[in-house]
């Protein structure tokens, strides 16, 4: 195949220019070109849409007849349910603690042991509590001794006042008899007026003394009663305080308050338990409950008293919701 070279031809007067090869396109033709392009795009989109419709709605799918259930639609109650795994837990747990605290001296049982009410679990010791008990015992003894001393002194004072009253009564009776004798003799003119006045003064003096002694005796009885009452109250308070301390000492022996299983033993021998600190837990295994975590979607629909069902193997048991803990995690 022969190749021929192309040459650009021009006149000598007008040299050939590259710009002379471009030709301006009129505005009307430009608009027609844009319209043709738009029609082509719309046609392509329509073709794709028709193809998709044919694939989606005119395709045939085979469904097994036995997998289709047909029933008549009825108006009724819609029952909604959910399922969850549940953990078996005791309904009642009791925390073992000491109100005074102390050092662990002995542990009688370990976790997992079955306990009865009153079974020993821990033995604690508290030297400070023991010193406090000894001090309170000494205070009670001292106050009782003081009360006994006051009672002895009061009895002696009362005897003294009773003796003074007896003497004053005797002196007054004697002065009264003397005044009566002098008065009888004065009427007959055997004694002077001066002696009569002397007998009357003796009677008044002994009467005043008797009244004074009786008032002192009554005041003494009143004061002694008040003093003994105050001291008795103080002794009673000390005895109650001592009793509280002794009960606290008794509670250093930690016992199980219920029947169940000792699930936790948190202390070792030699450790110090603070007052109120949990040192063990006893669970009552005679009463159990199920605790389940449900999806928070159903949280607002769960209420106390609702029925539930437990499935263990092939056995189903009815349940009742007793408590709802609305904690969203």
Pairwise CA distance, residues 164 & 217, whole Å: 9
Token look-up 């097994």 returns 64
Question: What is the structure's pLDDT at 14?
Answer: 43
Q: 256 and 283 in contact (C-beta within 8 Å)?
A: no
pLDDT of residue 243 exceeding 80, the answer is yes
Residue among 244, 272, 250 at smallest CA distance from 102: 272
Token look-up 């004074």 returns 212
73: left (phi over 0), alpha (psi -120 to 50) or beta: beta
At 49, list the tokens: 């849409």
Q: What number is the average pLDDT over the span 129-152?
A: 82
Cβ neighbours of residue 24 closer than 8 Å, sequence gap 6 or more = none
**Least confident residue range of 10-19, 35-44, 102-111, 282-291:** 10-19
Q: What is the pLDDT of residues 47-59, one digit of tens each?
A: 777 666 656 555 5
Q: pLDDT tier at 40 (50, 70, 90 boundaries)?
A: low
The DSSP call for residue 238 is H
Residue among 103, 127, 112 at smallest CA distance from 277: 103
The DSSP call for residue 99 is S
Question: What is the structure's pLDDT at 33?
Answer: 66
Token look-up 């006994």 returns 148
Describe the chain by its helix, strand, coil percentages, rounded to 5.
50, 20, 30
Residue among 129, 105, 107, 103 at smallest CA distance from 120: 107
Q: 105 and 125 in contact (C-beta within 8 Å)?
A: yes
Q: pLDDT tier at 11 (50, 70, 90 boundaries)?
A: very low
Question: What is the structure's pLDDT at 27?
Answer: 59
Q: What is the pLDDT of residues 174-224, one digit of tens each?
A: 888 888 888 888 777 777 888 888 888 888 888 888 889 889 888 888 888
311: left (phi over 0), alpha (psi -120 to 50) or beta: beta
- Which strand (E) or helix (H) includes residue 263? strand 260-265
Instruction: Give the total residue count for the chain.
Output: 329
Q: What is the pLDDT of residues 274-292, one digit of tens each?
A: 888 899 999 998 888 899 8
pLDDT of residue 79 exceeding 60, the answer is yes
Answer whether 0.75 is exceeded by the pTM.
Answer: no
């Amino acid at each position: 195949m022969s190749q021929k070279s192309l040459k650009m031809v021009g006149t000598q007067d007008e040299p050939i220019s590259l710009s002379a090869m471009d030709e301006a396109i009129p505005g009307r033709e430009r608009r027609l070109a844009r319209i043709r392009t738009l029609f082509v795009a719309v046609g392509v989109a329509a073709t794709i849409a028709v193809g998709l419709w044919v694939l989606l709605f005119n395709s045939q799918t085979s469904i097994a007849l036995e997998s289709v259930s047909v029933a008549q639609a009825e108006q009724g109650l819609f029952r909604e349910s959910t399922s969850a795994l549940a953990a078996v837990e005791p309904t009642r747990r009791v925390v073992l603690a000491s109100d005074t605290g102390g050092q662990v001296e002995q542990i009688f049982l370990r976790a997992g042991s079955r306990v009865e009410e009153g079974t020993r679990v821990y033995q604690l010791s508290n030297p400070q509590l023991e010193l406090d008990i000894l001090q309170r015992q000494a205070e009670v003894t001292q106050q009782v001794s003081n009360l006994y001393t006051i009672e002895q002194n009061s009895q002696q004072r009362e005897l003294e006042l009773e003796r003074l009253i007896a003497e004053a009564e005797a002196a007054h009776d004697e002065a009264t008899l003397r005044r009566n004798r002098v008065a009888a003799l004065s009427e007959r003119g055997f004694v002077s007026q001066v002696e009569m006045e002397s007998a009357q003064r003796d009677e008044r003096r002994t009467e005043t003394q008797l009244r004074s002694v009786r008032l002192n005796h009554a005041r003494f009885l009143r004061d002694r009663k008040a003093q003994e009452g105050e001291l008795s109250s103080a002794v009673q308070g000390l005895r109650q305080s001592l009793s509280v301390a002794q009960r606290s000492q008794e509670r250093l022996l930690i016992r199980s308050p219920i029947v169940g299983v000792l699930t936790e033993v948190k202390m070792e021998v030699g450790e110090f338990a603070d007052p109120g600190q949990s040192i063990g837990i006893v669970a009552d295994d005679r009463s159990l409950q199920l605790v389940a975590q449900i999806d928070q979607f159903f949280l607002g629909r769960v209420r106390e008293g609702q029925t539930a069902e437990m499935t263990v193997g092939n056995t189903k048991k009815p349940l009742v919701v007793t408590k709802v803990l609305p904690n969203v995690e």
